[in-house]
Structure 1
Amino acid sequence: MGLSKWEEDLLKNADAVMDKSPMEDLYAGVFFNQNRKKYWIDKATFGNCFMVFARDFTVAWGSDKRYWDWPSIKETSEVFIDVAELLMVCWLSVKSKFDTANLTAGMNYEVVFVMMIKENSRGWSAPVTFTLILPNGNKQQHEESLLKKPRSQWFEIQVGEFMVEPKNDGIIEFSLSKSKENWKTGLVVKGGAIPTKGKKVTLIVRNVNDLSRDVIKSDTASVKIPEIDLELAGGTLGGLVITVEGLVTKINESLERVHGFTFGDSLDEDRRSKWLDFKARLLKLLNIEETWTLILDNALENSFIAPTTYDIKDDFQLTFEYERSWEHNKELGLNDMDTSFVDVAYAS
């Protein structure tokens, strides 16, 4: 696939010198505008995707050092970005704009805030308001509590979703806000991602060749193998470039580290037996005695499982499904599910 004139110009004006082939650079992501934005092409949909980092946001009181700090963090091995760290405010307002003309016409997109709550944060008992205003003026808005979000690790919250219509592109506005007069501290905002709508990658593992497929698991992707009731929360294992076989082995090693499988007196015999049984079922997957399913669920859509065919659509064992919308999750009661037990059980 050749580059468009727009993509060629973007590579020429990138913040860093590119050292790969042009398409590899665009798949991996290109930083521009003094590391305030990142652009990449999604491998599954070939859609244009963007990350708008915090420095490109309008932050109320953001220039006042009493209220906000702007530390630099390492985003890649060579790129540092500034994040917005809340020291203390009563009136919280963080917002940005983006021109949908830069996105791929006809595709579905979502807007996702990437943020963190620090360990000693306070003032988050009331939910925060997330708002997306589309070019036609339609508004999507919901409230979400940050109180039970994991501390000191990045997580994502979907703001809204939309389709890019060729005759109706324009500026979108997205924000998080809270106007209650209690003091709030400890929020860190990395930015807002605008990927093609988050996906679930599902692979039916049928033979030894499937174990050799390459897997890109992002740091935020959850991993599920329903046949053995395995579900690892997003953030578990970190980001990986690995094979299917390597991923299963890595999961086993993580469980060995966390639970030991040399429990001694730390667990009663019944729980010990259950964990050993689970380990045996996990490793049995590598023998391919039965078909099993690997699912990568990722809000930011930057995880991938390699197809065995030239065209992804011809690999019938591999599917890329769009996630449910926030509203659909609310109807199903999924937004309020308590997954803390799973997070504790499998955290590495």
Structure 2
Amino acid sequence: MCSTEQKPLFRDLTAEDPEPEVTEIESLCINCYKNGSTRILLTRIPHYKNVVIMSFSCESCGYENNEIQPGGAIAELGVRWKLRVEAPADLNRQVVKSDFTSVRIPEVDFEISAQSQKGEVTTVEGVISRAVAGLTQDQVARRAEHPEAAEKIDAFVENLQGLRALDTPWTLLLEDISGNCFIENPEAPKKDPRAERTDFKRSKEQDHILGIYTHEEPCGDSPVDVSHQTAI
């Protein structure tokens, strides 16, 4: 009688497991409304938690989209992270952002509001690169139609580029009411020398944003379906 070794549902991506179990399903493309494909991977981020990574691509129009969802429930507390970026190694730290993660860099007056972007697994440098890409994508047309606005954006992009060049140390601040954001500690399990994590109790309004209500509270006309919340 033979037996098959049962692998865990969520497992680390390692050299010993070169072929992770990826599920591929046919999905509707929201860009051209033809069929594309979504690849789903269940994995574990060390010192963080289980996550579901989804990658969509459409061969018809070339549209691509990546998302991440937590492999468990919304955390009981919200979380704030403060990272002092001082060395090139800090730029390579892994960052997990959920839909509910806000990002601030006070040194350049930069902010990404919560729920303005899909969650993602990226790096500290990747956060800056995505911001630069978003700001510069329409600059050619903007320089022709709104040159003053384009000049201000160019100056701001230059400030962001300075962050990647580490002209001076700077601070990355994350806040997530769902408790599902994370900054990698490259020295784990030792204490992180430049990052601080603080948990906080959500307000009633923040609970409602996540679709969390007590039995005594009305759920409103259109409560959020927490089971489908994205956390990338």
Residue 129 of structure 2: SS of its match in structure 1?
helix
**How many Å separate the matches in 1 of 2:46 and 2:78?**
11
Q: 1:261 to 1:315 in 2, by over 3 A?
A: farther
Q: 2:198 — aligned with what?
A: 321
Residue 264 of structure 1: SS of its match in structure 2?
helix
Higher strand share: 1
Q: 2:85 — aligned with what?
A: 205
Amino acid at match of 1:295: L
Alpha-carbon distance, 1:202 to partner = 1.3
**How many Å separate the matches in 2 of 1:280 and 1:274?**
10
Give yes or no for the alignment of 1:227 onto 2:107.
yes
Give yes or no for the alignment of 1:264 onto 2:143.
yes
Give yes or no for the alignment of 1:309 onto 2:176.
no
**How many Å separate the matches in 1 of 2:201 and 2:140?**
37
**Aligned pairs (5 A) from 1:63-78:** 77=54
Ranges in structure 2 where 5+ consecutive residues have no aligned partner: 1-5, 13-43, 56-72, 207-232
User: Larger RCO: Structure 1 or Structure 2 (Cα < 8 Å, ≥ 6 residues apart)?
Assistant: 2
**Aligned pairs (5 A) from 1:132-281:** 194-257=74-137, 259-260=138-139, 262-267=141-146, 269-281=147-159
Q: 1:321 to 1:297 in 2, by over 3 A?
A: same
Alpha-carbon distance, 1:248 to partner = 0.9
Q: 1:211 to 1:20 in 2, by over 3 A?
A: same
Q: Do the aligned residues in 2 keep the contact of 1:261 with 1:275 (CA within 8 Å)?
A: no
Alpha-carbon distance, 1:230 to partner = 0.7
Q: 2:9 — aligned with what?
A: 18
Alpha-carbon distance, 1:245 to partner = 1.3
Alpha-carbon distance, 1:292 to partner = 0.4
Note the aligned Cα RMSD (angstroms).
Answer: 3.4
Q: Do the aligned residues in 2 keep the contact of 1:237 with 1:254 (CA within 8 Å)?
A: no
CA deviations on 1:84-141 (whole Å, 9 max, x unpaired) are: xxxxxxxxxxxxxxxxxxxxxxxxxxxxxxxxxxxxxxxxxxxxxxxxxxxxxxxxxx
Q: Do the aligned residues in 1 keep the contact of 2:77 with 2:179 (CA within 8 Å)?
A: yes
Residue 95 of structure 2: SS of its match in structure 1?
strand
**How many Å separate the matches in 1 of 2:116 and 2:87?**
26
Amino acid at match of 2:112: L
Residue 175 of structure 2: SS of its match in structure 1?
strand
**How many Å separate the matches in 1 of 2:103 and 2:116?**
9
Amino acid at match of 2:193: F
Task: State which structure, 1 or 2, has the greater radius of gyration over its C-alpha atoms.
Answer: 1
Q: 1:236 to 1:42 in 2, by over 3 A?
A: farther
Q: 1:197 to 1:275 in 2, by over 3 A?
A: same
Q: TM-score, normalised by structure 1?
A: 0.38
CA deviations on 1:17-58 (whole Å, 9 max, x unpaired) are: 71525xxxxxxxxxxxxxxxxxx99956x8xx9xxxxxxxxx
Aligned pair count reads 153
Q: TM-score, normalised by structure 2?
A: 0.55
Residue 263 of structure 1: SS of its match in structure 2?
helix
